[in-house]
Amino acid sequence: MSTWAEPVSFASAWDRAVSGRADETFLIFETPSGDVSRWSYGDFDEAVDRVAGTLAALGAEPGAAVHLALTNSPTFVAVWLAASRLGAWIVPSDPMGRAPELAGHIDRTRPAVGLCAGARAGTYRAAVADAGRSDLSVIEIDEADTTLALFDAPPLAAAERPEPGLSDRAAVMFTSGTTGRPKGVEVTQANYAFAGKVMATAAGLAPDDRQLVVLPLFHANAQYYSFASAIWTGASVALMPAFSASGFLPAAARHSATCASLFAAPIRMILARGGPVGDLRLRHCWYAQNIAADQYSTVARWFGCRPRQLYGMTETIPAVLTDESADPHHTSMGRVSVGCAVDVQDAAGYSVEPGVVGEVVVGGEPGVTLFAGYLDAPDITAASFRDGWFLTGDRAPRDDTGRHYFDGRRSDVLKVSGENVSIVEVESTLAEHPAVLEAAVVGRPDEIRDEVPVAFVVAADPSAAPSVSELDAWCTERLAKAKRPVAITLIDELPRTSVGKIRKFLLTERAAAASP
C-alpha cells in the first residue's frame, strides 16, 4: 500500500514555496482581452492574506466551506490558497452550471461564503435561493480583475494564522455526474501536498519550469497536476482564462511554458483547429485518454516533445500511473507512479497475470495518499474499497514491463449474444480511420442479441466526411462480427461535460430513440 513517511499540509507547502521563492514568478494571468499580469510568490502571498482576511470576516473559520463558481482567474487561485491557510475548504463548481446543480452543491456543503462572477450572478443567486441559503454571503467578482480590490478587510496577520492539520478537509470536489448523482470527493490538506509531490517527481519539475494551465480550475486535473506540482517545486504557472484550440500553442510560446496538461479531446481539437508555431519551449505534456497513432505523431511534432499519458481520478489524488519521458507509448497509461500503489485484480480481488484484463485498484492511506471519503456517504465510501484497495471501476491489462493499457470502464463492456465486447476497442478502431477525428460507442438493447454496439463519429474534416458505408467496410475488415457497430451516425461533435468527458447517456438515449 502507498504511504508517505513525512506528510505535510498544503498550507505549509505554500508557505515553504513563498519562503524559498519570494521574489520569483509564481503566476502569470492573461485576461480574455490579452492583458497580462504577473505576481511573484511574495506578491501573491500578500494577496492571499488580503483574501483570507475578507473570508474570515465573513465567517470562513477553520472547518468552514467556501463555494466557488468561477472560471480560471487570479481570484480562484487566491481564494483556494486563502481557504487552505484559514483551515477552511473550497467547493469548486462548474461556473457555467445551471441553478439546480449549483443549488445542490450549496445545499450539501453549507458554505459560509460563495463567490461567483457578476455576469452570472442571476443564476448563482437563484441557486442560493433554491438551496434555502438567504444567509449566505455572496461576493460577485469580475473574473478578469487582477487587483482583487473587493477583498478589502484587514489582511490576515501571520500571528492569526491557524495551523491546519494533515487530515483537515481542504476541498470537496463533485464528480462530473455523467451517470447518477454526483459524489462529493473529500480532499485533505495532506492530499493536495501529496499530489504536488508525486506529480512534480513524475514530470521531473524544476523551479525554472512553467506550467501552462488551460483546463478549468474547478477540476482536479489543473489543481493536482499543474498548480500543486508547481507550488511543491516553486515553479511558475501561466494561467489562461479558458481553453482555445487555435490559441493553445501560441499561448505556450508567448508565455515560455515548459509543461502542460491536457485530455485527448482538447488534443484532437488542437489538431483540427490549430497548427505548429515557432519559439516553443515545451518539454513535457501530460494527457489523459487514448489518441490515435497518427494524431500522436502530429501532436508530438507540433509540440516539440512527446506527450506522456497518465491515469488518475479525483479520488486517487495524483495520477497513479504515468508514462515515462524516456520512451512514452501513446497507447499506454504508463507504469505505477513513484510513491503510489496500483494493482490489476479480478472480481474476487486476486492479482491477474500480465496480459489479462482486470480492474485497476489503488492502494493507499485515506486522507493522505488517497481521498478521505465521499461527503456524507460512509456506505458508498466503504463499498468503493475491497481489502484496503480503492476500486476505480476502470479495466486494464498490464504487460511484463508494468505498462498498463486502458480497456474501458466496467460499464464499457457490452454483452452481445453472450460475447463480451469492449467499447474502447470499437472506438479505437473507428478513430484510426484517417478521416475520423473521434468516435463514441454505446450499447442499444436488442431483442435477439441482448445489446448491440452503436457508433457516433465526428469527421476530421466535415467537408470531406467519410460515408457510413466506408466506415462499415473499415470495421468489417478489422472487427469480429459481434464488435461491428450496427449503426453509425456522423455528428458535428460529441456531447461533453465542461472537462471533456463524453456524456454517453445522451448518446444512449439517441441510439434508443433511433432503434428500428
Q: 75-107 pLDDT, tens per residue?
A: 999 999 999 999 999 999 999 988 988 999 999
- CA 103, CA 307: separation in Å to the nearest integer? 38
Domain ranges of the chain: 412-513
Please, are residues 95 and 45 in contact by the beta-carbon 8 Å criterion? Answer: no
Encoded amino acid at 269, one letter: M
- Using one digit for the tens of pLDDT, what is the confidence trace for 299-310? 999 999 999 999
pLDDT for the residue numbered 178? 44
Cα(51)–Cα(82) distance, integer angstroms: 6
pLDDT in tens, 194-219: 999 999 999 999 999 999 999 999 99
Model pTM score? 0.87
Q: Per-residue pLDDT for 111 more than 90?
A: yes
How would residue 497 be classed by pLDDT, with cut points 50, 70 and 90? confident
Nearest to 119 by CA among 193, 188, 69: 69
76's enclosing H/E stretch is helix 74-86
Q: What CATH class does 412-513 carry?
A: alpha beta
3-class DSSP string for 429-476: HHHCCCCEEEEEEEEEEECCCEEEEEEEEEECCHHHCCCHHHHHHHHH
Q: Are residues 89 and 170 in contact, defined by beta-carbon separation less than 8 angstroms?
A: yes
